[in-house]
Amino acid sequence: MHKDDLMTPKERSIALAQGKDVDRMPVSLICLGPAGQLINMSYKEAYSNAKNRANNQMKAYELFGFDDLNLIYSLHALAISMGAEMSEPNEGAPSILVHPVKDLNDLSVLDLEKVSFKKDKIAQMVVEAHEIIKDELGDEISVGTSLPGPLTAASSLVGTATLLKGFLTNPENVHRLLEFCSDAIINIAKIFLDANLQIGLADPMASGSVINKSRYDTFVLPYTKKIVDACKSYKDICFGYHVCGNTTKLLESMPKTGVDAIGLDNLVDMAVAKEKIGHLVSLAGNVPLVEVVYLGDEKTIDFAIKECFRKAWDSPRGYTLTTGCDLPVKTPIDNIYAYMRSARYYAKYPLDPERFI
């Protein structure tokens, strides 16, 4: 348990579920980008094996004491398993240089065996890292990971420009590709569920900054719902969902996926989200990660956290403070400490709206 808290994250979660008092409300922090510097490694080294993956998240918990750990999977995992050529930067996530599907008109290379768990080295590292954390921390804190959403997975296979052009020129094969991606994601998700990992979907390509609501409803919603339904049928879980960018125009469609909690980028007004979908799903968000946590100071961080609570603390299905997305590499450690200090103050139980004025 963190020195500044009175309960472990798991104790806090159980008490809330039972309607009992807690020391504070849960606070999340997507601390993947800066994880290497926490253990004196480059980003690349911090994610090079299961031990380092486990250690960077355990160190983040030791230092900051937020309420859940995230064992980063990869938005490009399917493409990597299928032989995509990747960049290898020391700092920051790798990107795809050559996509494994060369032509949307030829999907003959698609084979679920190629993206199975036994072929997926990153998924294997995630499961092994989870075992290391459980051996060290026991049941003190929930550990989860995010799988790529169907549109992001499809983009990693064929390339963004080809995929978006295909909406107009070859929608039938776009649907075939999305069907394949959904099946592949479900197969890996079941492995993670068997390992008792919490799971969710991250689908930045589904952003309202990239596609409109009509495209979302046609090419994203049905396949996301397929994944969520399959996972919930397999195991009774709370399913999280995050889409980067401005999803304001997509808000009323997103709960139709069947997810239980939606994390929002800071481009979305939390008050608007609460009004539109707060009665349907739990909300999480959305302290600006670049201009506030990365580039800001203690005062700007405090103000942003207070604003999030002011707008969303009473959301009908619940609210969890978190950042709008993953923190950038080299985020100042002092700023992460400042985030947690303010978060603990505003999240102190019982919540008092006077603190948010």
Note the pLDDT tens digit of each residue in 124-171: 999 999 999 999 999 999 999 999 999 999 999 999 999 999 999 999
Please count the residues of the chain.
357
> Which whole number is the average pLDDT over 211-233?
98
Asked, for residue 263, whether it belongs to a domain, the answer is yes
> Which whole number is the average pLDDT over 267-291?
97
Asked, for residue 269, whether it belongs to a domain, the answer is yes
pLDDT bracket for residue 284 (50, 70, 90):
very high
Report the pLDDT value the prediction gives residue 337, as an integer from 0 to 100: 97
346 touches 356 (CB < 8 A):
yes
**What's the start-to-end Cα distance of the chain, in Å?**
30
Asked, for residue 72, whether it belongs to a domain, the answer is yes
DSSP code for 90: S
Report the pLDDT value the prediction gives residue 246, as an integer from 0 to 100: 96
Asked, for residue 2, whether it belongs to a domain, the answer is no
225, burial (CB in 10 Å: exposed 0-12, middle 13-18, buried 19+): middle
Does pLDDT of 186 surpass 90? yes
153 touches 185 (CB < 8 A):
yes
Q: How far apart are CA 276 and CA 269, in angstroms?
A: 11
The tens digit of pLDDT for each residue in 71-106 reads 999 999 999 999 999 999 999 999 999 999 999 999
Concatenate the DSSP letters of all residues of 123-147 into one string.
HHHHHHHHHHHHHHHTTSSEEEEEE
> Sheet harboring 261-264: ordered strands across?
68-70, 142-148, 198-202, 240-243, 261-264, 282-287, 319-323
Q: How far apart are CA 61 and CA 31, in angstroms?
A: 10
Asked, for residue 276, whether it belongs to a domain, the answer is yes
Does pLDDT of 357 surpass 90? no
Q: How far apart are CA 102 and CA 160, in angstroms?
A: 12
CB-based contacts of 161, cutoff 8 Å, min separation 6: none
Distances in Å between the alpha carbon of 227 and those of 22, 107, 233, 265?
Answer: 34, 21, 10, 22
| Domain total in the chain | 1
Asked, for residue 1, whether it belongs to a domain, the answer is no
| Structure tokens, 260 | 């239980």
CATH of the domain at 74: 3.20.20.210
Asked, for residue 4, whether it belongs to a domain, the answer is no
CB-based contacts of 48, cutoff 8 Å, min separation 6: none
Q: Which domain holds residue 171?
A: 9-356
Of 167, 145, 179, 178, residue with least CA distance to 75: 145
CA–CA–CA angle 40, 43, 49 (5° rounding): 90
Does pLDDT of 180 surpass 90? yes
CA max distance for the chain:
61
Does pLDDT of 253 surpass 90? yes
Long-range CB pairs of 168-171, under 8 A, 24+ apart, other chains included = 170/104, 170/105
Q: What proportion of the chain, given as a percentage, has pLDDT over 70? A: 100
Buried b (16+ CB within 10 A) or exposed e, 73-102: bbbbbbbbbbebebeeeeeebbebeebbbe
